[in-house]
Amino acid sequence: MREDDARAFELVRAFEMEDSDATLLTREDRAQADAVARSAAAGKSDKWAGKEFLVARARFAALRLKTRHPGIATLSSRSSWPRWLGVVLPVLALGLGLLANEFGQGKRMDLLAVPLLGTIAWNLLVYLWLPVAAVKGIGRPRHDPISRAVGWIAGTARRDFNRGTPLQRAADTFQRRWSKLTAPLAGARIARTLHLSAALFAAGVIAGIYLRALVVEYRAGWESTFLDPEAVHGLLATVLGPAIALTGVDIPPASDFPALRWSNGDGIIAGPLIHLWTTTLAGAVILPRLALALWQGLRVARLSHAMQTSGREDFYTRRLLRAGRGDVGRVQVTPYAYTPDHSTRSALTAALARALGDGAQVTIDPPVAYGEEENWLAAHSPDPGVDYRALLFSVAATPESENHGAFASGVAKTLPAGTMLAALVDEGPFRSRFERQAGFEERIGGRSAAWRSVLSEAGIVPLSLDLSRGETESLAERLEGGLLPDAELRR
């Protein structure tokens, strides 16, 4: 996805996942977003229809959220990369280069000037560090002070929401996920800005040299506590060697360097040495940094146009894609020897609708009495219009092959082609009664193993869950895995 579309998608995802009661984004809003997205995806090839559906839906839903909750609009805008940084920092670097007193005091050009040698040395260290950082994975954007500052700015928008509210929790989720998702892009932008700033700083130094040299006659010389004339000559010949070869301008011979010491005279006219230093700066700093800035700019363009949002491995995304294809389906739940209470039925219905799409039609049959499986199977023909059959048991019951197993096998044998079958074992009543007793986990583990053994005869792997906790999102994700085969989950 493009960056703006990815931001809208992650924003809507965070708020929808938190807003289980549909108070921030109403069910009517969601249904309308689905309809708009289906219209946008109509006529698209299978390859692009899913993406178009997700993008169109995110745009519509994000606009609704921002319109109704101004704080969300602020959160979204502050999560954007501050484009002014890409202009202000390079311009400041250029100004600092122009103002740098690169030659020391007065009219003297110090051949060992720290700003000149330091700038070149620093950039050479950066060039050596870059491949090491790439191999070791160090210097990631989340540790960078600029990246942290941008994250802090974005995080200030969360203060617009009351603590502990769904709005604040959703904002935290969005900020956390968005920071992680955009880390590579933020890193490329930071690197591009810093490379460009380094190039412009060196350009400013060069411009400052020549502008000042128009009105000042620079004299070149040197002084050092530890270096002798031969060492100074060797150092300059090494540093300025490529510029000497390129321009044909040479430095004074080693025999002249004792006379160039400031304590022995006023040096020489600095013009030729200025050309050598500026050529060296251009070749060692400006051109490499511009090339690196261009490379990072290309990375920014690529990453910002192909952001990897939550894909089909994500429950929320899969649920939307099924809704986009209209694959919400009908679910028939049949309890056996277990009468779920109203809260259990409501929790199961909500979780199934969440797992398969808000439009899923969930039917919970009257319970089948213990021992009545044969009569029930004979009296009830399978409905070919049902997409998912779920058998509901209680872990409190002792599973028996001739009853529970026979019922599951009978349903499996008459299952219409294309209907998915699952067995759900509710741990809620058993947990509420015995959870505080010693050895509870061992007891419930043994019961779950017994259920797996009995239902395996029907070719079913049961899904144990606690329907009394009312955790719709986590229940929905587990139910999705129990109702849909792996091939469906990957669609």
| Beta-sheet strand order (sheet of 463-465) | 361-364, 330-335, 388-394, 420-426, 463-465
- Domain check: are 336 and 241 in the same one? no
- Domain check: are 295 and 226 in the same one? yes
- Domain check: are 93 and 53 in the same one? yes
CB atoms within 10 A of CB 76: 21
R_g of the chain, CA atoms, integer Å: 35
- Domain check: are 296 and 418 in the same one? no
Q: Are residues 109 and 218 in contact, defined by beta-carbon separation less than 8 angstroms?
A: yes
Q: How confident is the model at residue 160 (pLDDT cuts 50, 70, 90)?
A: low
* pLDDT score recorded for residue 482: 72
Checking DSSP bridges between strand 388-394 and strand 420-426, what pairing results, if any? Answer: parallel
- Domain check: are 186 and 234 in the same one? yes
* pLDDT score recorded for residue 151: 59
CATH, residue 425: 3.40.50
| Beta-sheet strand order (sheet of 268-269) | 108-110, 219-221, 268-269
- Domain check: are 51 and 90 in the same one? yes
> How far apart are the C-alpha atoms of 260 and 258, rounded to whole Å?
5
* pLDDT score recorded for residue 489: 40
Does position 486 have pLDDT exceeding 50, yes or no?
A: no
Q: Are residues 333 and 368 in contact, defined by beta-carbon separation less than 8 angstroms?
A: no
Q: Are residues 480 and 356 in contact, defined by beta-carbon separation less than 8 angstroms?
A: yes
pTM for the predicted model, two decimal places: 0.72
CA triple 132-136-142, angle to 5 deg: 105
Q: Are residues 165 and 269 in contact, defined by beta-carbon separation less than 8 angstroms?
A: no
- Domain check: are 157 and 31 in the same one? yes
Choosing from 267, 293, 321, the residue where a domain stops is: 321
Axis-axis angle for helices 315-325, 342-356 (nearest 10): 80
Choosing from 321, 355, 371, the residue where a domain stops is: 321
- Domain check: are 201 and 233 in the same one? yes
- Domain check: are 287 and 345 in the same one? no
Does position 136 have pLDDT exceeding 90, yes or no?
A: no
Q: Which domain holds residue 268?
A: 1-321
3-class state of residue 2 by DSSP: coil
- Domain check: are 368 and 436 in the same one? yes
Does position 117 have pLDDT exceeding 90, yes or no?
A: no
- Domain check: are 212 and 357 in the same one? no
Choosing from 289, 321, 353, the residue where a domain stops is: 321
- Domain check: are 357 and 410 in the same one? yes
Tokens (6 digits) for 462: 């049961």
Count up the domains in the chain and report the number. 2
Q: Are residues 412 and 459 in contact, defined by beta-carbon separation less than 8 angstroms?
A: yes
Q: How confident is the model at residue 224 (pLDDT cuts 50, 70, 90)?
A: confident
3-class SS string, 200-217:
HHHHHHHHHHHHHHCCCC
